[in-house]
Chain A
Amino acid sequence: MKTFSLPRIVFVVFCALVLLYLILPVLIIVPMSFSSTRFLTFPPPSLSLRWYEEYIGNAAWMQATRVTFAVAALTVLIATPLGVAAAYAISNSKMRIMRIVHMMLMLPLVVPIIITAVGIFFVYAKIGLVATMSGLVLANVMLGLPYVITSVVAGLQSFDPAQEMVARSLGMNRLRSFFAVTLPQIKASVLTGAIFAFISAMDETVVGLFISGGQYQPLTKRMFTALRDEIDPTIAAISTLMTAASFLLVLIASTRQKKSG
């Protein structure tokens, strides 16, 4: 076997280093968040929960956390039904215009986020939605829609629409047949889309920087502002919690996806 040939060893080492480069920065925040000192020293000194206590004891961080979770939850509640309805229409219609509609619904992924952010800021400034909860939720619904639609369109592709026709021919109306026959079978892709919309809203930073303010500032905005000034280890604690939440949600999404597939 040529398993241990030199080029192969070089290739394996190279890949291992690249994977380390990918994962190390994500993992490094964990020991930082448990460090007892303000500055990360190497090798790390004793462990403590100091930065977690600082985070939980700080009213501003707690308020920002509540805003983030409320925005993400409301975003999912609105974006999921809108996205599922649109995905259903896209999958069931061969109209030309529907392809244009589909492309337009993907716009949030195409337009650079800074342009979206400034544009929404201009419009919100005119109609008084800057620094409001509803403004923040609406913007995140828009940003989350492509994730729901992409996921559900993919789910509907492996679903046979004839099944829904059968249910309707047996006397169910369209709405009931959708909920009774179609939805249970695309449940996993709806859940995946909803989860990604949630993560997207939780992590969203740039639009929030421009349009949020006052008491309705999400975590990411406070983190960003704090990062401009100094490296506060409290942010490591918050980052660790956010990353853990993301990983957990991605894990749920991927196991669900496997079950249905």
Chain B
Amino acid sequence: MTHSTPDLSLRHHRREQGLMLALASPALLVILLLIVLPVGWLAWQSIYHDGFTLENYRRIFSEAIYWRSFSLTFQISLLVTVLALLLGYPIAYAASVVPKGWSVLILALVILPFWTSVLVRAYAWLALLQRTGVVNQFLQYLGVIDEPLALVHNTFGTVVATVHILLPFMVLPLYATMQKIPHDLMQAGASLGGSPSHTFWRIFLPLSLPGVLAGTTLVFVLCLGFYITPELLGGGRTVMVSLLVSRNVELYDQWGAASAVGVVLLLSVLVIFLIVGRFIPLDRILGQK
């Protein structure tokens, strides 16, 4: 896309490059000052407190409250990812095979919640799942239960709301991949005598795997650092890593500990992106956000 016509002198070329860098620099400056510097500071603070120390990291690996939180976070993220895949795959599949009008409707139902504030959705789930909430009242009205169920202020409520919030991040990359799978491939499979389920398992599913990888990575990584749903729907019991960070800052004023937890969380995310990046281009994952 460069304008490299043959008469372009080297000097002109250099000036062009300088101009492009200059154009990108204001945005880059904002990023450097407001995310690179703060995260760098965080990392520095985790190892430096009146001299170098690995005390903060030692605590993460030795004190039960820390590694229990990390293990809970990974378990919840895994559960959320699996549930999102099980719910999201059929939706994406349906959107990619139905006539256009229907697929627009399905995608609208996926995208509208996607652009609704996470806070609003967490609030809606609180209202739906609390003891006097819609779900409990409805079940009592039907006579299914006598006592309201504890649906929220626990891990269950956190998972239900988190899957809801992250599901579009699963469906959109899946749909983007499935849409590109040529229909004649399936028809060819069918004409060669394959049953519909056979053509699905042998042709469609393998071709949709890049979308599965992109969607599961995105959901898993986003869930690792999720803050609003565990805070509002976890009832203080679902201490995910993000809550550990915020409590160390807000309640205990333990900036060093908070920083170390944050650094481990960030490294986990980066490692996952690096591994997945070997299989599919990263901008394909991030393009969905």
A is bound by B = yes
> Which A residues fall within an 8 A CB radius of B?
11, 14-15, 18-19, 21-26, 28-29, 32, 39-42, 82-83, 85-86, 88-95, 97-98, 101, 103-116, 118-123, 138-139, 141-142, 145-146, 149-150, 161, 165, 174, 199, 202-203, 205-206, 210, 220, 223-224, 227-228, 231, 235-236, 239, 242-243, 246-247, 249-250
B-side interface residues, number (CB < 8 Å)? 85
Provide 23 A-B residue pairs closer than 8 Å at the C-beta atoms, listed in order of the A residue: A15-B90, A15-B94, A23-B112, A40-B132, A42-B141, A105-B28, A106-B286, A107-B31, A111-B266, A112-B225, A114-B246, A120-B38, A122-B41, A142-B31, A142-B35, A202-B117, A203-B118, A224-B232, A236-B123, A239-B117, A239-B124, A247-B115, A250-B111
**Chain A interface mostly:** helix
| The residue from A15, A32, A115, A242 contacting B91, defined by CB atoms under 8 A apart | A15
Residues of B within 8 A of A88 (CB): 23
> Is B203 located at the chain interface by the 8 A CB criterion?
no
A105-B31, A161-B1, A227-B232 given; A250·B23 CB < 8 A: no
Residues of A within 8 A of B30 (CB): 82, 138, 141-142, 145
| The residue from B41, B116, B141 contacting A26, defined by CB atoms under 8 A apart | B116
Q: Are B227 and A19 in contact (CB under 8 A)?
A: no
Q: Are A25 and B109 in contact (CB under 8 A)?
A: no
Q: Are B113 and A112 in contact (CB under 8 A)?
A: no
Residues of B within 8 A of A203 (CB): 117-120
| The residue from B42, B122, B138 contacting A119, defined by CB atoms under 8 A apart | B42
| Pair count A-B, CB < 8 A | 256
Residues of A within 8 A of B258 (CB): 118
Q: Are B27 and A145 in contact (CB under 8 A)?
A: yes
- Say how far A213's CB is from chain B's closest CB, in angstroms: 12
A26-B112, A113-B227 given; A118·B245 CB < 8 A: yes
> Which B residues fall within an 8 A CB radius of A?
1-3, 16-17, 19-21, 23-24, 26-28, 30-39, 41-42, 45, 87-88, 90-91, 94, 106, 109-113, 115-128, 130, 132-134, 137-138, 141, 164, 167-168, 221, 224-225, 227-228, 232, 242, 245-246, 249, 255, 258-259, 262, 265-266, 269-270, 273, 282-283, 286-287, 289
